[in-house]
Structure 1
Amino acid sequence: MGIIATNENEIKIYYSSETSIGKQAYAYVSASEKKVLGIDVSKTKVPGSHWVEIADGLNIGGIQKLINREHPDFIKEYGDKKMDLDQHDWLRILEKHPETLAFPVVIMGKRMLMIKSPSDFVKYMEPDTTNQENPD
C-alpha cells in the first residue's frame, strides 16, 4: 500500500452514513476488539488518490466499480444510460456525490475488503484456521 496509512491493530472503514448498508457495516466493524477509524464519506472529503488506491487494492477494475450507478442521486444527476468516462471523471463523481459509494470498504492491515452486506465483515473478525496467511 502507499498513501493510506495502515496498521495491523487498526481497522479503517470507508462508508456512507447516508446508506443503510453503510450504517450497519460500521456497527459491525465497531464491534471489533481492534481500534476502528470510521471515515464517513458523506462528511469527510476523501482524496482521489485514496479512491485510486482503494480500487487498486480491491482489484475491481477501476474507480467506476466503486460507484452505485443505480443510486437515485446518481440517476438524477447523470441519468441511467451507460456512461463511458475516464478515471478522472469517475473520481469527480465520487468526490461530488460520495453518497453513491457502492459499498463500504474495510482496510485491515494490508487487506482491503468490500462489504456488500453488513454480515460480510463477521467472517473476517473470526480467526481463519483453514486458510491462514503465510507470514513469510
Structure 2
Amino acid sequence: MTVHITNTDDRLINCIYVGGNKFGDQLEAFLKASDKNILAIDISKTMPTDTQWHDIAKELNISLKALIDTKKIDGFNSDTNYSEEGLVKILAQNPDALDGAIIMEGDRIAHVKQYTDVLKFYDVDSAGLEKTFHTEDPTTSSTTEKDNFI
C-alpha cells in the first residue's frame, strides 16, 4: 500500500494510526463519520516505507522521535541520540509506540494526539468544544465566513 504524503484530492483523508486500542478505535469511528473518503492505514498491519516516514517527518517539520511514545518501548534509552533511520526501524519493530496519528488531506498534514483534532480536517469550527461549560461559555455564533449555525 502506498502512502500519499501530499495528496491532491481534498475529499480524501489519509490516516496513519495504530488500530486495536481505544485511541485508534475512536479515531477510526470519528473519521468514518465524516463525508470524506478515508484511507486508514493501521501500521500494525501495513507499515509505511522508511522514505514515507522521513517524508512525513519532513512535512511536519519534526524528528521522528516526536512521533514515538518511548514509554511503550522496553529498553528504549532516551539518553541515546538515535538517527532518523534508527528511529524508523524502532517504529517498525514497535508499531504500538506510535504516539497519536498522522492525518493528511490535500496539502495539509497534522500529528494528532486527540481524536477531536480531526475536526480541523472537516472544514468546520469546533463551536466551543475546546471550552469547558463550567469555566467558559461555548461559542455559539459564527467565527469564520464558512461557519453555519442553525
Tell me by how many angstroms 1:81 deviates.
4.1
Give the structure 2 partner of residue 47 of structure 1.
Answer: 49
Residues 8 and 108 in structure 1, CA contact (< 8 A), matched pair in contact too: yes
Tell me by how many angstroms 1:66 deviates.
1.0
Give the aligned residue type for 1:70. K
| Partners of 2:26 and 2:113 in 1: CA distance | 11
Q: Secondary structure in 2 aligned to 1:50?
A: helix
Over 6 Å off, 4+ runs: none
Q: Deviations over 1:9-45 (max 9, x none)?
A: 2001000013321221121111110110100000112
Q: Secondary structure in 1 aligned to 2:71?
A: coil
Residues 5 and 104 in structure 2, CA contact (< 8 A), matched pair in contact too: no
Which protein has greater RCO, CA pairs closer than 8 Å, 6+ apart? 1
- Unmatched runs of 5 consecutive residues or more in structure 1: none
Between the aligned residues of both structures, percent identity stands at 27
| Partners of 1:16 and 1:103 in 2: CA distance | 8
User: For the aligned residues, what is the CA RMSD?
Assistant: 2.1
Match of 2:102 among 95, 102, 105: 105
TM-score (norm 2): 0.74
| Partners of 1:131 and 1:97 in 2: CA distance | 43
Give the structure 2 partner of residue 12 of structure 1.
Answer: 14
* Residue correspondence of structure 1 range 3-82 to structure 2 within 5 A: 4=5, 6=7, 7-59=9-61, 61-71=62-72, 74=73, 76=74, 78-79=75-76, 81-82=78-79
Tell me by how many angstroms 1:80 deviates.
5.2
Residues 68 and 97 in structure 2, CA contact (< 8 A), matched pair in contact too: yes
Q: Secondary structure in 2 aligned to 1:25?
A: helix
| 1:122 matched to 2:124 | no
Tell me by how many angstroms 1:88 deviates.
0.8
| Partners of 1:131 and 1:23 in 2: CA distance | 33
Tell me by how many angstroms 1:5 deviates.
5.4
Whose helix proportion is higher, 1 or 2? 1
Give the structure 1 partner of residue 132 of structure 2.
Answer: none
The structure that has the greater radius of gyration is 2
Tell me by how many angstroms 1:46 deviates.
1.2
| Partners of 2:44 and 2:27 in 1: CA distance | 15
